[in-house]
Amino acid sequence: MKKDDVAIVLCGEAGQGIQTVEHILVRLLRQTGFHVFATKEYMSRIRGGSNSTEIRLSSERIAAPVDRIDILCPFHQAALFHLRDRISKGTTVIGDRTNICLDCPEEVTDFIDVPFAEIAEAVGGKIFINIVAAGVILGILDIDMGMVSDFISRFFAKKDKEIVRKNVEAAKRGYQRGKKLLDSGKARFALKNPMARNEILLNGAEAVGLGALSGGCDFLSSYPMSPSTGVMVFLSQHMEDFGVIVEQAEDEISAINMALGASYAGARAMVTTSGGGFALMTEGVSLSGMIETPVVIHLAQRPGPATGLPTRTEQADLELALYAGHGEFPRAIFAPGSLEDAFILTRKAFYLADKYQIPVFVLTDQYLMDTFYNVPPFNLEDIHVEKQIVRTDKNYKRYVITEDGVSPRGIPGFGDGLVGVDSDEHDEESHITEDLHLRTQMVDKRLRKMNLLNSEIVPPGFIGNEDYEILLIGWGSTYHAIKEAVRRLDRNDLAFLHFKQVHPLHPQTINFIEKAKRTIIIENNATSQFGKMIKLHTAGVIEGCLLKYNGLPFSVEEIVKSLKKKLS
Amino acid sequence: MDPEIYDMGDIDIAWCPGCGNFSILSSLKLALAELEIPPENLVVVSGIGQAAKIPHYFKTHFFNGLHGRALPPATAIKVVNPELTVIAESGDGDMYGEGGNHFLHAIRRNPDITNIVHNNMVYGLTKGQASPTSQLGFRTPVQVRGVFLEPFNPLTLAIALGATFVARAFAGDVERTKDILKMAISHKGYALVDILQPCVSFNKVNTFKWFKDNTYYLENSYNPEDRNEALQISLQQDRLPLGVIFKLMKKKTFEENSGLYDKDKTPLVLRTADRKNVLAKLIRSKS
């Protein structure tokens, strides 16, 4: 077992309180200064099923999921079967024999029986089972008990005093059990001194939300849809402090048309949605292109087609985002690889959308949305937002034809001019036209904005030896898993190129590919959508691909294993 | 104010000669002028169709968006800048058909906007198919057996959903339509004005004469604040009532409910608050 990197998995039915345990463990461990990473996979149901949460902690920075399980805490029998592929000799299962019967899968070799239910009953009822379990894990990890009781008290502070006391008691009794296991040598972990104090802990939804707030977002209209709803909830929670309007629209069509109305009137508007909801928004993407009104579209991907797997992850909506909307007009697509990216690129999306009066996408996925880890606090030095809005005069024309294609954007009620926008082809004053000569000029004007857009593409990130022979390409949320896999493979002929802007494609892309003897692309989809895009836009040849589309993100081990096979 | 302030001069208008849209435009200009709303304070949001071309034919800010989608942008424009007078205007197919869901929920949201619907009971721009308000038995090249879908009743629906101002006008009466529009625009909250209008090209049944013969104005004694009576009146099919059918005061608007203007009346889009400190505090709270 790797000593300085512990992977804990909690698994049970929806409704058994796993989320509470996850919440307590992740934040408490964070406060002790360990690097913490947590991700979850869950079923699209409110009760029952088998959901699991993986929590990794280490004294070194970690930000990727692993298959390995060091400590498994099953809350029901089915958990062991749900996770049997990931259980190995190194897995210590800590469970209650009263609900985990002897009929374990053969993979389980180390089972420690802890009577969670009995302990919980002694404290006051089965409802405390999850807190007892949290206590056991914290005991095994040798976390200071004072910190544990403080945290639990604060966590339940809004509840009745007696409930707080019982929860603290449940945690304490669990903790004593865990400590006993540690002392008896049954469970051994040697985490080094924690180093990551003063960092923040958040998930992808919060990082996108913070990026939006820092980018000046003051209007969000959306329709709830997993896994994109977290951003809407986050902005709602902070709408009063920041002066943001968050409106739950009647459908996604309304959501994007509202956002465009708000944006036309001068707001910095955003929508957050997922595949099926975004499909309904596509008319609005086209409208944004035609009326040259900025909008930021956060598209959190989940597996399709149609309803697909609502609570799982995939990277299969890249082509949808790229081609959504009828007609031809410029757009940009960001694909954050990390929480820092999610913050910076969402802010940048607002800047680009405003500057070029176009739709800009932030393409994430369920994995990134639901994944927590610690990062240094975001830098707020350059967050000043400059609105690209002009005061109009009497002779103002909304679509004046300019050399760079960008017409100064006025808004109603700011200046003496009139501001019209029109979804029909229009003249400079925005009135309907069927002057076909003007039509060509207007199309050219809109497309000329591409030249400016192309001048500020975020370059791909490069990791590895400059003299590589094998180049791995990834985009979006697979960043940390591929990065850790590359580190574990430890080959000096291997490099990794990660794209966080996938459209327009950076002009250096071809140079990276031509330099490699072999290029392998890694994507969470079935048809290598980004690989196809690269082939379409460059002359680059991609020799191999590693694709996954079962609804789960890549683990570090499976990338390592697949690459070893490919490269042997 | 002189209604000429809205005139565009010599422009090409795409409406058919004799179309009811011309008189609706006249009524609207008169209403706006009498209410002294200058073009710089007015935003007209429209969808697609012949009626939806109206903001191209007089001076105003405008958002001529997509088919059926006038209400969502209109709602958003009003909430981010409540100082603007916002009108959402389109035809019956646009508002009640393609935009039906937005119609329902805009009423529930109660933004302080005026929703004007040119209702000629037919699709004009697509050349004569049935609209949601086409009457039973109305034959078209598509509805060859005659319309058998129950006609959409926007008035009853609006009252049932809690609309705070519901009126019906007739395009043939410029003066009284102007009066109704003035009341609607002045009303605080969502206001629906369904304007009956002949389509000279594609509706040979519901003609100018037909509307004359089949409508009547509500009497002065009618109390539009009685919701039950208003529902009954709105259901009348034999002769269609004209005038303010229902109105309700004292309902909070969407803008008021947003909470955004509780302390600061400055329109959201004109605010210049620096977020750095509050953002730094929020980020620190994540540690």
Neighbour tally for A456: CB within 10 Å: 14
Q: What is the mean pLDDT of residues A532-554?
A: 95
Report chain A residues whose CB lies below 8 A from the CB of B279: 210, 213-214, 242, 380, 383
Q: Which domain holds residue B197?
A: 3-284
Ranking A99-108, B77-86, B137-146 by mean pLDDT, the lowest is A99-108
In angstroms, what separates the C-alpha of B7 from chain A's closest C-alpha?
13
User: What band does B272 get if pLDDT is binned at 50, 70 and 90?
Assistant: confident
B7 touches chain A (CB under 8 A): no
pLDDT of residue A101: 74
Mark out the alpha helices in A265-395 (DSSP H runs): 275-291, 318-323, 339-356, 366-369
Contact between chains at B280 and A380 (C-beta distance less than 8 A) = yes
Residue B260 has its nearest CB partner, among A245, A260, A432, at A245
User: What band does A46 get if pLDDT is binned at 50, 70 and 90?
Assistant: confident
Tokens of B30: 């008169």
Chain A to chain B, count of Cβ pairs less than 8 Å apart? 185
Which of B66, B113, B260 is the best mutation test for A, with the most CBs of A within 10 A? Answer: B66
B43 - beta bridge partners? B61, B86
Contact between chains at B77 and A264 (C-beta distance less than 8 A) = yes
Report chain A residues whose CB lies below 8 A from the CB of B283: 200, 210, 377-378, 380
**Global confidence as pTM:** 0.97
Q: Which of residues 103-132 of B touch A (CB under 8 A)?
A: 104-105
pLDDT, tens digit (0-9, with 9 covering 90-100), for B131-167: 999 999 999 999 999 999 999 999 999 999 999 999 9
Mean pLDDT of chain A: 94
Contact between chains at A210 and B283 (C-beta distance less than 8 A) = yes
Neighbour tally for B3: CB within 10 Å: 16
What torsion do the CA atoms of B94, B99, B104, B106 make, to the nearest 10 degrees? -90
Helix (H, G, I), strand (E, B) or coil at A128: helix
Which of A198, A222, A244, A250 is the best mutation test for B, with the most CBs of B within 10 A? Answer: A250
Q: What contacts A194, CB < 8 A, 6 or more positions away? A: A32, A33, A34, A35, A59
Q: How far apart are CA A552 and CA B201, in angstroms?
A: 58
Contact between chains at A261 and B39 (C-beta distance less than 8 A) = no
Neighbour tally for A472: CB within 10 Å: 28
pLDDT of residue A312: 97
pLDDT of residue A106: 82
Residue A266 has its nearest CB partner, among B40, B66, B81, at B81
B265 touches chain A (CB under 8 A): no
Contact between chains at A377 and B287 (C-beta distance less than 8 A) = yes
pLDDT of residue A187: 66
B249 touches chain A (CB under 8 A): no
Contact between chains at A413 and B275 (C-beta distance less than 8 A) = no
Report chain A residues whose CB lies below 8 A from the CB of B79: 245, 247, 262
Q: Quick check: A476 and A363 in contact, CB under 8 A?
A: yes
Q: Quick check: B86 and B55 in contact, CB under 8 A?
A: no
B284 touches chain A (CB under 8 A): yes
* Percent of chain B predicted with pLDDT > 70: 100
CB contact burial B134-152 (16+ within 10 A = b; e otherwise) = beeebebeebeeebeeebb
pLDDT of residue A383: 84
pLDDT of residue A2: 43
By C-alpha distance, which of B52, B182, B56 is closest to B117? B52
In angstroms, what separates the C-alpha of A394 from chain B's closest C-alpha?
10
Residue A423 has its nearest CB partner, among B64, B264, B282, at B64
The enclosing domain of B254 has a CATH number of 3.40.50.970
Q: How far apart are CA B96 and CA B71, in angstroms?
A: 11
pLDDT, tens digit (0-9, with 9 covering 90-100), for B6-20: 999 899 999 999 999
Which of B41, B44, B61 is the best mutation test for A, with the most CBs of A within 10 A? Answer: B61
At residue A123, what are phi and psi to the nearest 5 degrees?
A: -80, -35
For chain A, the distance separating the N- and C-terminal CA atoms, rounded to the nearest angstrom, is 26
pLDDT of residue A102: 66
pLDDT over 90 (residue A191): no
* Residue of chain B whose Cα is closest to the Cα of A266: B269
Asked if the peptide bond before residue B38 counts as cis, ω within 30 degrees of 0, the response is no
pLDDT, tens digit (0-9, with 9 covering 90-100), for A352-366: 999 999 999 999 999
Report chain A residues whose CB lies below 8 A from the CB of B71: 254
pLDDT, tens digit (0-9, with 9 covering 90-100), for A402-452: 999 999 999 999 999 999 999 999 999 999 999 999 999 999 999 999 999
Contact between chains at A413 and B40 (C-beta distance less than 8 A) = yes
B263 touches chain A (CB under 8 A): no
By C-alpha distance, which of A392, A407, A512 is closest to A464? A512
Contact between chains at A218 and B268 (C-beta distance less than 8 A) = yes
Report chain B residues whose CB lies below 8 A from the CB of A240: 259
In angstroms, what separates the C-alpha of A280 from chain B's closest C-alpha?
13
Which of A264, A424, A425 is the best mutation test for B, with the most CBs of B within 10 A? Answer: A264
User: What band does A56 get if pLDDT is binned at 50, 70 and 90?
Assistant: very high
A496 - beta bridge partners? A463, A472
Which of A23, A29, A198, A257 is the best mutation test for B, with the most CBs of B within 10 A? Answer: A257
User: What band does B273 get if pLDDT is binned at 50, 70 and 90?
Assistant: confident
Contact between chains at B61 and A424 (C-beta distance less than 8 A) = no
* Percent of chain B predicted with pLDDT > 90: 96
Report chain B residues whose CB lies below 8 A from the CB of A205: none
Q: How far apart are CA B281 and CA B274, in angstroms?
A: 13
pLDDT of residue A100: 79
pLDDT over 90 (residue A239): yes
Residue A264 has its nearest CB partner, among B66, B73, B101, at B73
Please classify residue A153 by burial: count the beta carbons closer than 10 Å to its beta carbon, then call 0-12 exposed, 13-18 middle and 19+ buried: middle
pLDDT of residue A1: 40
Which of A203, A238, A258 is the best mutation test for B, with the most CBs of B within 10 A? Answer: A258
Contact between chains at A253 and B69 (C-beta distance less than 8 A) = yes
- Chain mean position to CA A268: 22
Ranking A44-58, A422-436, A545-559, B103-117 by mean pLDDT, the lowest is A44-58
User: What band does A208 get if pLDDT is binned at 50, 70 and 90?
Assistant: very high
pLDDT, tens digit (0-9, with 9 covering 90-100), for A156-172: 999 999 999 999 999 99
Q: What is the mean pLDDT of residues B165-193?
A: 98
Q: How many domains does chain B have?
A: 1
Residue B56 has its nearest CB partner, among A206, A377, A431, at A431
Report chain A residues whose CB lies below 8 A from the CB of B83: 413
Which of B6, B8, B15, B40 is the best mutation test for A, with the most CBs of A within 10 A? Answer: B40
In angstroms, what separates the C-alpha of A243 from chain B's closest C-alpha?
6
Contact between chains at B273 and A243 (C-beta distance less than 8 A) = yes
Compute the half-sphere exposure of residue A78: CA atoms within 13 Å on the CB side of its CA: 8
* Residue of chain A whose Cα is closest to the Cα of B73: A261
pLDDT over 90 (residue A110): no
pLDDT over 90 (residue A14): no
For chain B, the distance separating the N- and C-terminal CA atoms, rounded to the nearest angstrom, is 60
Distances (CA, A) of A308 to A98, A250, A301, A321: 36, 22, 11, 17
pLDDT of residue A190: 65
Q: Domains for chain A: give ranges and CATH numbers.
A: 5-184 (3.40.920.10), 203-375 (3.40.50.970), 389-456 (no CATH), 461-567 (3.40.50.920)
Residue B269 has its nearest CB partner, among A241, A265, A420, at A265
Q: Which of residues 31-90 of B touch A (CB under 8 A)?
A: 39-41, 43, 45, 48, 53, 55-56, 59-66, 69, 71-77, 79-81, 83-84
pLDDT of residue B249: 79
pLDDT, tens digit (0-9, with 9 covering 90-100), for A273-318: 999 999 999 999 999 999 999 999 999 999 999 999 999 999 999 9
Contact between chains at B63 and A238 (C-beta distance less than 8 A) = no
Report chain B residues whose CB lies below 8 A from the CB of A411: 269
Q: What is the mean pLDDT of residues A499-511?
A: 97
Q: Quick check: A223 and B37 in contact, CB under 8 A?
A: no
Q: What contacts A553, CB < 8 A, 6 or more positions away? A: A39, A65, A313, A365, A367, A477, A478, A481, A524
Report chain B residues whose CB lies below 8 A from the CB of A200: 283-284, 286-287
What torsion do the CA atoms of A104, A109, A115, A117 make, to the nearest 10 degrees? -40
Q: How far apart are CA A150 and CA A132, in angstroms?
A: 15
